[in-house]
Structure 1
Amino acid sequence: MKVSTIISAASLALPALALPQTIPSASSNHHALGEHVKMSVTPHAEFSSSVGVLGCKINTNRVAYWPDFPSCDNFCVKLTHESGRSVHVMHIDQSRGARDISYDAWNYLYTGHSVTENGWARAGSGIEVDVQYVPADECRHLITDGSGKLPIAAANGLNWVTSCLGNTWKCDLLPPYTLPTCPHQLGDNPVLTNPTDHKLVNYLYPTGEEQVAP
């Protein structure tokens, strides 16, 4: 299934869309660019995104799952361990209280190795890191489809995009709007076979075993 941009950013604000008002403002938990905070982060095994980012088009091993609602400006975050190891993650999911990051990112900060390396997957709890909110461009390499834009599904990402457009945000990674373009009628829900370059892979905790999402 190919995702393509079909509606201009300006049209997103039209009242006729009658958007449900169930998602909080994306600017409600704003952190200044360059701001540093200390945080204990825990491992998270399965990808999700409360703002509708498509996991098959990003590096799902570099995602943050935090209680704060993702910010328009500062969803790109640099995490640095006391060892000096650092990773960039995208805060694109709102958790119910945990301060999780992708299992592979956590494992790298903890050990210096990926969970995909034989014998290096570890179990554990919180590790303290320095959290720095950095410009969105620093996370552009985490978008794997070559577009340079966050791939957001219209069905559950529209509110976040429109709330960002209503603020003076500086990030240029957000696309205006996306809907699927399919060879079949929308709503038929046929069984799809993902091409190899659009797989969503989770690494199971605590073994690091690869699991391809259906």
Structure 2
Amino acid sequence: MFTLFALLFTLLAALVAGESHGITPHDMYSSSVGVLGCKINTNRVAYWPMSLLRIDQSGGTYDISYDAYNYLVSGQSATEHQITGGAVTMEVTNIPADNCVQHLKAGGLPLSASNSMNYVASCLGQPSSWVARNYRLFNIQDPVCHWGYDEQCTVDLAVSNQPSCPHALGATNGRLPDTVFNIEYGTGMVVAAP
């Protein structure tokens, strides 16, 4: 059905020929593969006419950010006019990853150096894949960017499977400033990610 990359890192668009799925809103940012919310536009992620960045590997669930869901259902941001409800059937199709680079603040797919190495190693096993050519590792421990150092890391799997960072991998110097914000379901209030 899908390749590993299409399943883990697929960029989706709506209202073009594709598969029908019940799309549901997700009002709290998360990523099961370690995509860092502080380095992407969290209001345009898929967990369709708009391009969304798929950053999760939830099996049969088709969650998207609450703001993207609200926009596709009502034509307005969730901060302006809140829509509540369950799944809405939408047409979904895969598009090239380069169509979503505007959602990536780091110049590539930002991943947690301490928590994404299985995903990175799998992607590097397919050197011509988009992720293998465009990933960025950061010394940030969690998807909502509360802990770690906001610094880039490198990895050479021929030498080690542990990334090299300016500070020790996984080290922290207290909580980082809030940089990931959620739009609360039903209220439209913008709040710092917990």
TM-score (norm 1): 0.65
Percentage of pairs with the same residue: 42
- RMSD of aligned residue pairs (Cα, Å): 3.0
> Per the alignment, do residues 108 and 27 of structure 1 end up closer, same or farther by CA in structure 2, a change over 3 Å counting?
closer
**For residue 200 of structure 1, what is the amino acid of its counterpart?**
V
| CA–CA distance in structure 2, aligned partners of residues 208 and 171 of structure 1 | 34
Which residue is equivalent to 1:158?
117
The question of 1:202 aligning with 2:182 is answered yes
Q: Match of 1:94?
A: 57
Matching of residue 59 in structure 1 with residue 65 in structure 2: no
Aligned residue for 2:68? 105
Decide whether aligned partners of structure 1 residues 60 and 29 sit closer, same or farther in structure 2, where only a CA change above 3 A counts. Answer: closer
- Which residue of the other structure, out of 97, 100, 117, is the alignment partner of 1:136? 97
- Where in structure 1 are there 5+ consecutive unaligned residues? 1-24, 66-78, 80-85
Give the Cα–Cα distance (whole angstroms) in 1 for the partners of residues 61 and 114 of structure 2.
Answer: 25
Unaligned runs of 5+ in 2: 140-148, 152-164
Could you state the TM-score of these two structures normalised by the residue count of structure 2?
A: 0.71
Q: Is the 8 A contact 1:64 1:99 kept in 2?
A: yes
Contact 2:43 2:67 in 1 (8 A): yes
CA change 1:184–1:174 in 2 (3 A) is closer
User: Matches of 1:184 and 1:139 in 2, distance apart?
Assistant: 30
Q: Please state how far the C-alpha of 1:54 moved relative to its aligned partner.
A: 0.6
Residue in structure 1 matching 2:84, options 106, 123, 129? 123
Alpha-carbon distance in 2 for matches of 1:35, 1:168: 29
Given that 1:26 and 1:160 are in contact with CA atoms closer than 8 Å, whether structure 2 keeps it comes out as: no
Q: Secondary structure at the match of 1:41?
A: strand
- Higher RCO structure (Cα 8 Å, ≥6 apart): 1
Number of residue equivalences: 163
> CA 1:44/1:187 → structure 2, altered by over 3 Å: closer, same or farther?
closer
Q: How many angstroms does 1:96 deviate by?
A: 5.8
Does the C-alpha gap of structure 1 residues 128 and 169 become closer, same or farther in structure 2, counting only changes over 3 Å? farther
Radius of gyration: which is bigger?
Answer: 1
Q: Which amino acid aligns with 1:121?
A: Q
